[in-house]
Amino acid sequence: MTAKLNVNIDHVATIREARKTIEPSIITAAVICEQAGADGITVHIRGDRRHIQDRDIELLREVVTTYLNVEMAATDEMLEIASMTKPDAVSLVPEKPNEVTTEGGLDVIGNQKILEPAVKRLRNEGIFVSAFVDPITSQIEAAQSIGCQQVELCTGEYAEMTLGAKSAHGEGAVRAAREIERIRNAAVHGSALGLKIAAGHGLTYRNVGALAAIPEITEFNIGHNIVSRAVFTGLYLAVEEMIGKISKS
């Protein structure tokens, strides 16, 4: 069975927020992703609102007809947003104020006291709950024990090993292969516990294939690489169009 693809459109909002203006519209982005066949839309609302804003979640909830997955930290502020907007799914993620991007999975074991009531609250609201965890058995078991319905396995470590010089040969390739096995074992274990298995972070057109071959993984959340590619697949046309507007004859 082919895994589902949720497109993470945070970085469309990153461009918009660079000018604090109205374009590019993440609503248009969501609609285009759906028209292209995406199974869902993922966004991460951060405490510092560096890209996705509160209003985006409200509008996306009205517009997205496939599946809306909102990544958030398990804070009171974020849980309130989830309660108000009712996305189809909430993915609980760790968040550090100055990180460039999410730096790894949740420590479910160490944060059980905060996470367990958060999961309960979300599920009581009818929201599907996923936890973003590293491919570590004990963290997956902890996520299941506090009521999560899915784990999203962090593929950041694997992705890192597939970048540039590291990927070509030698230690990087060995570590990437080792990481694929770790992810595969985690997916099999989580699935046996009755959890749905998603994966994401740092995935690209070049490295996703090895993970797509793991049958237990039924969902991918991919953002940065798709938005990056979209810049180049669209740039030629965009320049041609502007030349057309400037042209006097």
19 CB-near residues (< 8 Å, 6+ apart)? none
Judged by CB under 6 A, the chain residues 173 through 232 that form the site for ligand PXP are 200-203, 221-225
CA–CA gap between residue 58 and residue 103 (Å, rounded): 27
| Catalytic position from the list 11, 34, 51, 71 | 71
Asked if residue 220 lies in contact with residue 6, where contact means CB atoms within 8 angstroms, the answer is yes
Identify the three-state secondary structure at position 38: coil
Output the six-digit token pair for 156: 């950041």
DSSP assignment string, 77-107: HHHHHHHHH--SEEEE----TT-SS--S---
Q: From the CB of 109, what's the least distance to ligand PXP, in Å?
A: 18
Q: From the CB of 6, what's the least distance to ligand PXP, in Å?
A: 8
Identify which of residues 150 and 191 has a Cβ nearer to ligand PXP in the complex: 150
Give the one residue of 3, 7, 8, 121 binding ligand PXP; rule: CB under 6 A: 8
Q: Is position 201 annotated as part of the catalytic site?
A: yes
Q: Is position 44 annotated as part of the catalytic site?
A: yes
Asked if residue 26 lies in contact with residue 34, where contact means CB atoms within 8 angstroms, the answer is no
| Catalytic position from the list 11, 34, 44, 216 | 44
Q: DSSP alpha helices (H): ranges in the chain?
A: 10-19, 26-35, 54-63, 76-85, 112-124, 137-145, 156-161, 164-168, 170-192, 208-212, 224-246
Q: From the CB of 117, what's the least distance to ligand PXP, in Å?
A: 21
Identify which of residues 101 and 138 has a Cβ nearer to ligand PXP in the complex: 101
Identify which of residues 71 and 216 has a Cβ nearer to ligand PXP in the complex: 71
Binding residues for ligand PXP, total number by CB under 6 A: 19
Q: From the CB of 225, what's the least distance to ligand PXP, in Å?
A: 6
Q: Is position 116 annotated as part of the catalytic site?
A: no
CA–CA gap between residue 60 and residue 37 (Å, rounded): 17
CA–CA gap between residue 104 and residue 133 (Å, rounded): 7
Judged by CB under 6 A, the chain residues 75 through 104 that form the site for ligand PXP are 91, 93, 101-102
Judged by CB under 6 A, the chain residues 41 through 70 that form the site for ligand PXP are 44
| Catalytic position from the list 152, 201, 216, 219 | 201
String marking each residue 103-142 x if it binds ligand PXP according to CB under 6 A? -----------------------------x----------
Residue with tokens 């009581």: 124
Write out the residues near ligand PXP by the rule CB under 6 A: 8, 10, 44, 71, 91, 93, 101-102, 132, 152, 200-203, 221-225
Catalytic residue positions?
Answer: 44, 71, 201
